[in-house]
């Protein structure tokens, strides 16, 4: 909420400044550039904690720039891009061939790049005494085949019903789990959708029978620490390449997950995301259909550049340098 109030205040201030300049100079209004103006960005809610840090550093670097984020489900973000309601989105899926062709027919160029490799963390209440879950365990839980914790493993919670919580009904996390486990099937009646990752986290923290699925950047231990001043953070990003050890918050339990060919489960630490040992990983894409030289394009360039990638590295997930797919429309 604090972020929204801040952005509303900034938007009102920028609009007021624009009106003053227009009144004084007639039609000579300030032009948006790659480092100045206002840009709207739509982002899958599960990536919010990372994007907020990207925006903070970008706006510190360019004080005349204001990035206005809206955190919605991934399907709605893609729909807005295709309808021309926004030019820059963050999602766990790249454009399909059909979507690329649709943009081309409309005369809209686009750029898309994988900017990060995220992991889906399985979180449970601290009272849960199960040591790990296998992929088969998760499949049985998601489909409703297994309804009580005692059916998974002998546990003090053996008679408690399992409640599965997602961060929404149309988010990238939901789509990923459907594709990974259901193969066209349906979730069991024990699966519920909350409104945000924060709600999922809070429910897991206070309910011993709940299992939550959440982007790993939401559970790193920096959530409980005081944020560094933005000036100090910016200087560190410019001068340091190494990253301190990143651990998870102790307010909940992060469940190790065992892959189909593994002997032991692992938690979604960066090393296991990189090695492929953690089995629940997904890409994060930035898709930009704006003109060169606009603020949207400037922020896209920042996300895919050195500083933007360093910020991602410090959040507990991995930066991902992938070749850019780009289409330029020549009139």
- Over range 207-233, report the average pLDDT: 80
b vs e for 300-314, b when ≥16 Cβ sit within 10 Å of the residue's Cβ? Answer: bebbbeeebbbbbbb
pLDDT by residue (tens digit) across 27-82?
443 468 999 999 999 999 889 989 999 999 999 999 999 999 999 989 899 999 99
pLDDT confidence bin for 7, thresholds 50/70/90: low
At 190, is the secondary structure helix, strand, or coil?
coil
- Going from the C-alpha of 193 to that of each of 14, 33, 73, the distances in angstroms are 37, 39, 12
Residue 224, both tokens: 């409980």
- The count of other CB atoms within 10 Å of the CB of residue 82 is 18
Q: Quick: pLDDT tens for 80-128.
A: 999 999 999 999 999 999 999 999 999 999 999 999 999 999 999 999 9
Token duo for residue 16: 């007021």
Q: Distance (Å, rounded) from C-alpha 127 to C-alpha 146?
A: 20
Q: How far is the C-alpha of 260 from the C-alpha of 264, rounded, in Å?
A: 10
* pLDDT score, position 10: 54
| pLDDT over threshold 70, residue 17 | no
Mean pLDDT of the chain: 86
pLDDT at position 222 is: 53
Measured CA to CA in angstroms, residue 24 lies from 28, 31, 33, 218 at distances of: 9, 15, 21, 46
Coil vs helix vs strand at 115:
strand
Residue 271 has pLDDT above 50, yes or no: yes
């Amino acid at each position: 909420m604090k972020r929204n109030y801040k952005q509303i205040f900034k938007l009102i201030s920028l609009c007021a400044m624009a009106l003053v300049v227009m009144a004084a100079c007639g039609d000579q209004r300030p032009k948006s550039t790659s480092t100045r103006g206002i840009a709207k960005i739509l982002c899958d809610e599960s990536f919010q904690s990372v994007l907020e840090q990207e925006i903070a550093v970008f706006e510190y670097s360019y004080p005349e720039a204001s990035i206005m984020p809206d955190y919605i489900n991934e399907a709605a973000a893609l729909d807005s891009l295709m309808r021309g309601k926004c030019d820059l989105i963050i999602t766990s899926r790249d454009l399909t061939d059909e979507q690329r062709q649709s943009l081309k027919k409309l005369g809209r160029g686009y750029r898309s790049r994988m900017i990060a490799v995220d992991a889906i963390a399985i979180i449970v209440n601290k009272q849960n005494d199960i040591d790990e879950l296998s992929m088969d365990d998760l499949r049985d839980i998601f489909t409703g085949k297994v309804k009580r914790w005692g059916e998974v493993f002998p546990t003090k919670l053996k008679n408690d019903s399992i409640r599965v919580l997602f961060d929404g009904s149309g988010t990238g996390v939901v789509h990923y789990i459907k594709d990974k486990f259901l193969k066209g099937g349906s979730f069991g009646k024990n699966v519920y959708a909350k409104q945000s990752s924060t709600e999922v986290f809070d429910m897991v923290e206070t309910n011993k029978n709940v299992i939550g699925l959440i982007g790993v950047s939401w559970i790193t231990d920096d959530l409980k620490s005081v944020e560094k001043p933005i000036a100090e953070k910016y200087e560190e990003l410019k001068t340091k390449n190494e990253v301190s050890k990143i651990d998870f918050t102790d307010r909940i339990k992060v469940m190790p997950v065992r892959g189909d060919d593994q002997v032991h489960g692992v938690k979604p630490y960066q090393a296991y995301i990189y090695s492929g040992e953690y089995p629940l990983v997904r890409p994060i894409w930035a898709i930009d259909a704006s003109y060169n030289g606009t603020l949207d394009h400037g922020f896209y360039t920042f996300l895919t550049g050195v500083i933007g990638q360093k910020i991602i590295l410090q959040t507990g997930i991995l930066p991902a340098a992938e070749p850019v797919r780009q289409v330029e429309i020549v009139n």
